[in-house]
Structure 1
Amino acid sequence: MILSQFDEHSVFSQLNAFGHQKVVYCSDPDTGLKAIIAIHDTTLGPALGGTRMQLYKTENEALQDALRLSRSMTYKAAISGLNLGGGKAVIIGDSRLHKSEALMRRFGRFIENLHGSFITAEDVGTTPKDMEYIRMETKFVTGVPESIGGSGDPSPVSARGVFMGIKACLKEHFGNDSLAGKSVAVQGIGHVGENLVGLLRNENAKVYICDINEDRLIQIAKKYGAKAVANNSLFDLDIDIYSPCALGATVNTETINRLKCPIIAGSANNQLADEVVHGNMLLEKGILYAPDYLINAGGLINCYSEIAGFSKKKTLQMAENIYEATRRVIQKSKEEKIPTIEAANKIAEKRIADIRKIKASY
């Protein structure tokens, strides 16, 4: 393991701020591998989190992403009732240019050396095939192709969870959870976004979509009967639901002031640019926000099911439980007059604290 441009004070202060247990820097000049594995908390079980590959501007930016995302995974597992901790891995590089079998297998060796404290899966920039390469070096990986006994693409389950979260918000705001005639703007139509568009259109929702890939945007609009719109006009639409399904921080001071919808519910991670500032802004403006790590937990549920050996039917049932979990968060938010993200955090933190006390008594 090689530490490059390592600022001891900076890294350790960031670890303390996020409450992480461990951060591992992985470097292999022969394959070009530069990666960071962040393990946030293992109170409930081994840390599980996807491996994201993208070209970060700096190593510190990559570290920040790993820290934020791994913390979210801890809360996601806790609030979903799963016996897992939170972790995340990031590989620094362009997945279209720098990824190779050798690089992924070398990364698998680093995971193997953590002896099961971290289990990975696919994420942005990685695929089930990449997980298959990692599997050649370690058993601590999920989301491998169905052809070799894995659960395959988790995006249908992820979309189902987001869909149930949307319906829970509709129930709260409108008194019923029917999507017929409701308008939804889906930002980002990757695998999860496309599956979500299909579910929404099946219930006769009016769906607006935007994506940086214009060819795919036209293709998906035609396939599902959705309306393609420019990304810069999305926040000015008069709609019922804004569903961010791309990258994070799209819910910020500027966009909140522009939004005309009563509900925000999508699959993107870290949607709030600042949890405290923007959670409170949404509360004050009367916009109901479905915490991202709660309703996008379907992918994690899918991975957990692969580890536990659950059937696809059982996996989908677990994803549909996100409906009631979202309702509980909304109820706590109303009772305590706090933002929904704070309510979700409290529920997750209580479960972790309760289990930690039990383990302390062993």
Structure 2
Amino acid sequence: MTDAAPTNLVFDRADELGGTVHEQVVFCRDRETGLRAVIALHDTRLGPALGGTRCYPYATEADAVRDVLRLSTGMTAKAAVAGLPLGGGKAVIIGEPAEVLTPDALRAYGRFVDTLAGRYYTAADVGTTAENLDVVATQTPYVVGSNSGSGDSGFSTALGVFSSMRAAAEHLWGSAGLAGRTVGVEGVGKVGTRLVELLLGAGAHVVAQDPSGRALARLLETHPDVAVGQRVLDADLDVYAPCALGGTLTPETVQQVRAALVCGAANNQLSEAAVAADLAARGVTWVPDYVANGGGLVQVAGEIWDRSAEQVRTDVEGIADTVTALLTRAEAGGRLPGEVADEIVAERLAAASAPSGTTSGSAPVSEPELVR
């Protein structure tokens, strides 16, 4: 009699891990501090993974796993399309930041990161700060974006989104670009607020929305001319800029979009891939999120190769050239921008070597020449 096949194997879990192509998923628990974290390495063919650590009060651990798998997949694409010799990774810490990000818990998390021996570099993300990273960095060298490094990457992320948006606006409307256009910014945290400032400087009109009245009040203190809307996704806009959490564009909500252009900082803006075609069917141009929001990654990655602030800014602004080429190639071929971006990522991954493996503490040996 043959024994039955084993069940409930890790890679056969149909709830979260079934079908995933991730190279490594690390579940971290520290008994003393109560820290619960998950680190996911999606693809390291181009180089060691780099991605932020998000802290969020997920309802269940399954929700946390789903989020980190999705986010780390996006980081692979973001690094590849930016031309960086880096792979895709992400981490999540479960809990309210104010409650769980104690110094002891952050040090414990740093030790977990260090066990990956350079296969994963961490940075800040939603719910974590450069100050948090300062503590993590006491336990591991694989930290970028701390105060002792290049600091908060919010401005670089905003600059990349702005550069992408302006390039797309020029592609759609000519050299005037964003001047006189109305942009709805959904989410005015550390990235959204800086994006608003850049948009105003370019002569755009801004409508802002955020569930936090405090965030809106801070914005209006310095920019009282910004309009505040209950919703911006379905407002009468030229550009919709999702800059909060992802998934706002669904088969249902896309029917409400009145903007001609969607370009923002949020990760995973589409609830499912088919929504890209739904947007196109309505005549809406979507700049893939992992292209537009790569500025923060470009900044913190610059620490690995000691790039100057001036070099980093030039690299971030160069995302505009990527967007222009992307939209031109898509238009010429009658294809979706997302399809073309995915094709570029696939080409670069296919041309890469095998997964990076353990780096024994070494960073990528060559400084990148960003591909545009």
Higher helix share: 1
Q: CA deviation at 1:58?
A: 1.1
Q: CA deviation at 1:221?
A: 2.7
| 1:330 counterpart (327, 341, 350) | 327
SS of equivalent to 1:356: coil
Q: Determine if the alignment matches structure 1 residue 140 to structure 2 residue 137.
A: no
Separation (CA, whole Å) in 2 of partners of 1:12 and 1:132: 37
Question: Counterpart in 1 of 2:129?
Answer: 127
Is residue 52–residue 90 contact of structure 1 (8 Å, CA) maintained in 2? yes
Is residue 156–residue 192 contact of structure 1 (8 Å, CA) maintained in 2? yes
User: Map of 1:63-142 to 2, 5 A cutoff?
Assistant: 63-142=65-144
Q: CA deviation at 1:198?
A: 0.2
Question: TM-score by structure 2 length?
Answer: 0.90
Question: Counterpart in 1 of 2:199?
Answer: 200
Question: Counterpart in 2 of 1:283?
Answer: 280
SS of equivalent to 1:181: coil
Separation (CA, whole Å) in 2 of partners of 1:15 and 1:336: 35
Could you tell me which amino acid in structure 2 is paired with residue 22 of structure 1?
Answer: Q
Deviations 1:5-49 (A, max 9, x none): x86255488546342100000011211111100000111110001
- Equivalenced residue count is 348
Question: Counterpart in 1 of 2:226?
Answer: 226
| 2:45 counterpart (31, 43, 46) | 43
Separation (CA, whole Å) in 1 of partners of 2:197 and 2:107: 35
Q: Determine if the alignment matches structure 1 residue 307 to structure 2 residue 304.
A: yes
Separation (CA, whole Å) in 2 of partners of 1:17 and 1:337: 31
SS of equivalent to 2:197: helix
Is residue 18–residue 71 contact of structure 1 (8 Å, CA) maintained in 2? no
Q: CA deviation at 1:331?
A: 2.1
Separation (CA, whole Å) in 2 of partners of 1:235 and 1:161: 21
Worse-superposed segment, 174-183 or 18-27? 174-183
Could you tell me which amino acid in structure 2 is paired with residue 153 of structure 1?
Answer: D
SS of equivalent to 1:209: strand
Could you tell me which amino acid in structure 1 is paired with residue 158 of structure 2?
Answer: A
Question: Counterpart in 1 of 2:345?
Answer: 348
Separation (CA, whole Å) in 1 of partners of 2:53 and 2:15: 24
Separation (CA, whole Å) in 2 of partners of 1:15 and 1:36: 13
Question: Counterpart in 2 of 1:239?
Answer: 237
Question: TM-score by structure 1 length?
Answer: 0.92
Deviations 1:195-225 (A, max 9, x none): 0000000111100001011132133134222
Question: Counterpart in 1 of 2:313?
Answer: 316
Could you tell me which amino acid in structure 1 is paired with residue 171 of structure 2?
Answer: E
Separation (CA, whole Å) in 2 of partners of 1:156 and 1:320: 12
Identical-residue share of aligned pairs (%):
37
Structure 1: segments with no counterpart, 5+ residues = 1-5
Deviations 1:299-322 (A, max 9, x none): 100111111101111101000111
Could you tell me which amino acid in structure 2 is paired with residue 140 of structure 1?
Answer: Y
Which of 1 and 2 has higher RCO (CA within 8 Å, sep 6+)?
2
Does the C-alpha gap of structure 1 residues 9 and 39 become closer, same or farther in structure 2, counting only changes over 3 Å?
closer
Separation (CA, whole Å) in 2 of partners of 1:67 and 1:23: 8
Is residue 168–residue 177 contact of structure 1 (8 Å, CA) maintained in 2? no
Separation (CA, whole Å) in 2 of partners of 1:44 and 1:62: 26
Q: CA RMSD in A?
A: 1.8
SS of equivalent to 1:266: coil
Worse-superposed segment, 315-324 or 177-186? 177-186
Deviations 1:71-124 (A, max 9, x none): 100000000011100000001111011220000110111111111001100111
Does the C-alpha gap of structure 1 residues 153 and 177 become closer, same or farther in structure 2, counting only changes over 3 Å?
farther
Separation (CA, whole Å) in 1 of partners of 2:168 and 2:80: 21
Could you tell me which amino acid in structure 2 is paired with residue 33 of structure 1?
Answer: L
SS of equivalent to 1:215: helix
Structure 2: segments with no counterpart, 5+ residues = 1-7, 357-372
